Chain A
């Protein structure tokens, strides 16, 4: 498949962009939005996006085929990992979920189409999406960028996506599929890829935007914040980590195997690169399955999963990071019964480290995970204090009647997303990332106080 040069990101790597080109593109995007996008109804946009998501689930959809064919070199993930990630994402994008998202955010599916009445008699209001949104996306996994584009479509905004210079292919192909489905919408979209941080195009780009969203590590996000003008709305998502808690009652009988499969799927999804990927599985002690037994079973599942959904080849630095981390635990395990480790044979494909010490530990990622015992959730949270304000999600494996009090305790502690183990890397479209509204705070409302 030869992709036409619709976007800056399609140009050869050696093509350089100038601030003037960026300004011209932003002006064209705004004009196209006024002509082709702003008058469309929300229902039309919902149908279009849902249809596109359906297409992406079709094995023969040319853009999907092309993306999978280019994995892992073009995407940084094995074909199977990419396919699994795409499936989880696009299954979550349906007419129902899109409409549900708009209702969750605005309370009314037509709030962006016409003045609608609310609780106050005589008052009507309409929500207007930003004229031009700029998204700065991270290079680790492609889903947040695609979801940001979907949000922008629902908001009927022109959008400029600054992709990471590493692996922009998934976003490019999604943008091309949109262009293919509706070229007028495609004309309201621009993509460019450059190495972030002080690029001469960044300041003019942010200066043109009504809203800038940014995802990346804390330093990247902070450096963008400094360049975005104060009048421009800025929404950022910095570095976050996730972990999981499995209760002793959940890990009993036949259910143990199901939770173990779920845990392995959470580790394997996007090769543990996302902020929703678990670093540690905490296992409640005193039950049928000890943390150490769970670690061993998890290792077994990761072995199986490696056959079905292999981890991507790594750079020598990534691989060496795992090897040296493994060495550390190998040395420790050789003289202490409090540490055990399981590892893939002849590769760094996966590693499970069991440690009796419940202190939260950052994984070096790429399917390297810790299993630690705790007495209960209270004990766990005491040992995760280090990451208290950095937690994106907590997966739980618990009986139905345990889940509510556990979630309440997690919410009070500051966790913004609690889900079951096995679903950590497939959040619903309505996921309020970092506990913030999905897009409610990107809109402008016009209140009309008509005569009662």
Chain B
């Protein structure tokens, strides 16, 4: 499968799609174990260096950053040496390799009105890379019972569940990468439906159309149709609080599942993950092991999930190859790598020790693939667990969007 070196970012996009296909085939089981196939590892390594070189040439902000660090492509021999650009660069500058005429979409980070927001630009091709990265890893964690391998092994895919998205429709929040992510999932799994039931408050914050949601929940129960509910942590708190307070909690049919993501940002009461999952379980009757946490950000094109929902077949299986990952450990897909580094000196931290999370996301073809987040994490097995956010990350009053 080794392909010649990419000479342009669109070529790199094609190479990414090839790599995603091959790595998903190579690790066909719904576990998050990274692909260890030596050929794929070597492909990844050379692809990462190629992409770094192309982004260095095409993205002026990234190039200046690398030059200031005196880390230019000729000096980089391994992906771990690629300079990881702090995500604040997406707030500070127009950080993209796309010419202005190609910038069709712009994903912005959430934030308060006084904070600058990250701006991640996408073209048609970069959205293709985003979607190509999103779906296989989403399916593996949220829809393992629909996967082709199941069809092969157990006699055909099951019918997909119905969907309920707790964000406003993407057309009404075009800068939300989360709403776009849900839209891609909808197009894939529920093309005929309109399952977005988020709305806006007067001040523009996200809220819920609770009447519509109650009706969706009732139908799911009445028709015994499993439901897949996706939303932010704060939207789940808002929904669950509403259902509990109005005495309208439900027990969704077996096979129902949830995906929650993100923090609270003061939009609802803040709960620990465990408390949030208990609340969802209490209000919607979704099994705890069917509630998946997602870690993503508008500056990335790939997502991490904390576990795949178990399938009955897997639970019943005694096959030694099917090993459940440790509970609640985030995993990015095989076309990414993570480093957890000391904030003191950027050296990699030993396993289990908390440091700053860096992500190399090969699906970020047209911006920057090597990013340093503002999140603290510790590696655990092949994945990582989150340990909050670095405080004081942005100086006050520096919320500029310079070109």
Chain A interfacial positions (CB closer than 8 Å to B): 316-317, 319-325, 327-328, 330-336, 346-348, 359, 361-362, 364, 386
Contacts and interface: CB of A to CB of B under 8 A. Distances in A.
Contact of B393 (A325, A331, A333, A336): A325
B372 A327 contact: yes
B274 interface: no
Contact of B392 (A321, A330, A347, A359): A321
Contacts of B86: 324, 327-328, 330-331
Interface in B310-356: 342-345, 354-356
A302 B159 CA distance: 66
Contact of A320 (B356, B395, B397): B356
Given A323-B356, A336-B402, A347-B345, A361 B85 contact: no
Contact of B390 (A320, A336, A386): A320
A333 B88 CA distance: 13
A335 B344 contact: no
Interface string B70-112: 0000000000000001101100110000000000000000000
Given A324-B390, A327-B372, A331-B88, 9 more contacts: A320-B391, A324-B88, A324-B394, A325-B393, A327-B86, A330-B86, A331-B93, A334-B64, A335-B64
Contacts of A322: 343
A347 B343 CA distance: 8
Closest 10 CB pairs of A and B: A327-B86, A323-B343, A320-B390, A324-B393, A334-B68, A321-B392, A320-B343, A319-B343, A334-B64, A346-B345
Nearest to A361: B395
B68 A316 contact: no
Contacts of A330: 65, 68-69, 86
A361 B396 contact: yes
Contacts of B343: 316, 319-320, 322-324, 348
A348 to B, nearest CB: 5
B376 interface: yes
Contact of A324 (B60, B85, B392): B392
15 contacts: A316-B343, A316-B354, A320-B356, A325-B393, A328-B88, A328-B394, A328-B395, A330-B86, A331-B61, A331-B89, A331-B92, A332-B92, A335-B61, A335-B402, A346-B345
Contacts of A327: 86, 88, 372
A316 B389 CA distance: 11
B388 A317 contact: yes
B393 A321 contact: yes
A336 B89 CA distance: 13
A347 B345 CA distance: 5
B50 to A, nearest CB: 23
B244 interface: no
